[in-house]
Structure 1
Amino acid sequence: MVRLPLTPADVERGQRLGALLRRARGERSMLDTALDARVSPETLRKIESGRVATPAFPTIAAIADVLGISLDEVWAEINRPMGGTTPSIPDDSPRERLAS
Structure 2
Amino acid sequence: MINNFQNLLDVACKELGNFELRLFVYAVANGGNVVISKKTMCKLTGTGINNVNKQLTKLDFKGMAELDVIEGTVFTLRILEQAIGGQDYE
TM-score under structure 1 length normalisation? 0.28
Structure with bigger strand share is: 2
Q: Which has the larger radius of gyration?
A: 1
The alignment's TM-score, normalised by the length of structure 2, stands at 0.30
